Amino acid sequence: MSDMVGVLALQGDFAKHLESLKRLRVSAKPVRWPEELDRCRGLILPGGESTTFVNLLKKSGLYESIIAFAIDRAVMGTCAGLIALSTAIVNDRMKTLGLIDLEVERNAYGRQVDSFFDTVRIPMFKEKPDFEGVFIRAPRILSFGNDVEELGYHDSQVVMAKNRRVLVCTFHPELTRDTRIHQYFVESMVEHQ
């Protein structure tokens, strides 16, 4: 795997996503400005603080650039990245990118001290469907549109989903040594455009 994947590096845990891609031998780079998207075939929006995150996107000019990027290229978002990519937030009036038809709730499991690890079930990983879920001030997916496919579950709650171009997780796969979600994003979405 050698496609260039950009990782939005304005705020949050972008370095851990870059490490996950490096373990997969995927060519990756941090993205801070719109022109840096030009060489990327995929983009990851990491976790962080979603309000700050979206404000930085607007100040840097990346807000509109990411919307244009997603017309024909793949995007992945984790935690705050998922919030920024969704179409609606029930407990915030922030204007999101609207790239995946999800209604979400910010900080749905509580504050930082309520963060937890638990098993996420991802049925498409047939040989080993269990994945270690790291939930840090995690959002909750409340509803989703007809074009959104459920991919992963914590108990009965959907915690991983996708549409044609966008993959999202409410948890942080980059905080584990398990690279299967990043591998799925690259192989199934970035390389098959």
Specify the DSSP element, H or E, that contains 87.
strand 86-89
Instruction: Characterize 125-164 residue by residue with b for buried, 16 or more Cβ atoms within 10 angstroms of its Cβ, and e for exposed.
Output: beeeeebebbbbbbbbbbebeeebeebbbbeeebbbbbbe
Q: 169 catalytic, yes or no? A: no
Do residues 97 and 66 touch, judged by C-beta distance below 8 A?
A: yes
For residue 53, the one-letter residue type is: F
Catalytic, out of 40, 79, 169, 182? 79
Q: 192 catalytic, yes or no? A: no
Q: 40 catalytic, yes or no? A: no
Catalytic, out of 40, 105, 169, 172? 172
Residues catalogued as catalytic: 79, 172, 174
